[in-house]
Amino acid sequence: MPDIIPNWHPVFVHFTVALCSLAAGLFAITPFVKPPLQQQWQIVARWALWFGGGFTIITGLTGLYAYNTVTHDTPSHVAMTDHRNWALATITLFVALAVWSMVRVRRNQALGTVFIAVMIIAGGVLAATAWRGAEVVFRYGVGVMSLPRPEGAGHVHEHASADQPPGNEVDNAEQQDHHDDDDAHDH
């Protein structure tokens, strides 16, 4: 098996987010769509939910592995725990919805408005979980192997500020004596 750095969670999480978001969106709008498109979209929504539910379990397991193995500090641990807690709620909701859907389909019963309402809520919980996961990576740098360093001729520079029009960036090549080449900068 190939070694994925830092772990497999980033691979599976995108399938979960895409499939479950698709399912939530389609279940939310299909009541307003006319036949025969309505039936087709319901079929796509069910399959997206069922596959999404399966990927959600794998994503959760790889997420727990990542939670217990990635290098992190105290502030990022707090963010990781918040993300984990939201993820547990998301996993519970989507697996329950997938099972609920499978049972209703097997019995040849309609899903109803309560199912659709819970699906919409689950979509919001999924979005909140995904946001928190992105915060863990992009704000706290968890799971990132290294951060880019400004290197090479002419790379040390500042971007235009809000009150400076694009194209008028300040090139710090003339101000090189004020900056150390190894200093990182915020973009």
Domain residue extents for the chain:
9-139
Does the N-terminal peptide bond of residue 35 adopt cis geometry, omega within 30 degrees of 0?
A: no
Stretch 58-80: mean pLDDT: 95
Instruction: State the pTM of this model.
Output: 0.78
- The phi-psi region of residue 3 (left if phi > 0; otherwise alpha if psi is between -120 and 50; otherwise beta) is beta
Residue 175 vs residue 133, higher pLDDT: 133
Residue 166 vs residue 76, higher pLDDT: 76
Q: Please answer whether residues 161 and 128 qualify as being in contact, where contact means their C-beta atoms are separated by less than 8 angstroms.
A: no
CA distance 3 to 11: 12
Per-residue model confidence as pLDDT tens digits over 120-169: 999 999 999 999 999 999 999 998 877 677 676 666 666 666 665 555 44
Query: Which has the minimum average pLDDT: 36-40, 145-149, 177-181?
Result: 177-181
CA distances from 159 to 119, 147, 148, 162, 177 (A): 42, 18, 16, 10, 19
Confidence band, pLDDT 50/70/90 cuts, at residue 96:
very high
Residue 46 has pLDDT above 90, yes or no: yes
The confidence score (pLDDT) of residue 6 equals 74
